[in-house]
Amino acid sequence: MDGEKLFATSCGWCHQDGGRAAGRGPKLAGSDRTDEYLLNRIRVGKEGAMPAFAGSFSEPQLRAIVAYIRSLKDTHP
């Protein structure tokens, strides 16, 4: 399961630089949110801002994406 690839394909055009920088969506690197918060947000999205991905990804794929977000180094201020 390649969280980085899944992220690049489905999330990267809003969460810039692989989630390391803010773009259309916020920076995700260094997030102090809980895993449950991240998982829930990816599943349900946000009305008018971010699509819901519950139907697009399996549970292991969702976990892989969260693991990828956690692996990001917070390099941008």
Q: Which of 22, 30, 41, 61 binds ligand HEC (CB under 6 A)?
A: 41
Q: Which residues lie closer than 8 Å to 66 by C-beta, 6 or more apart?
A: 3, 35, 38, 39, 42
> How many amino acids of this chain bind ligand HEC (CB under 6 A)?
19
| 18 contributes a contact to ligand HEC by CB under 6 A | no
Output the smallest distance, CB 12 to ligand HEC, in A.
Answer: 8
How far is the C-alpha of 55 from the C-alpha of 38, rounded, in Å? 16
| 42 contributes a contact to ligand HEC by CB under 6 A | yes
| 24 contributes a contact to ligand HEC by CB under 6 A | yes
How far is the C-alpha of 36 from the C-alpha of 18, rounded, in Å? 20
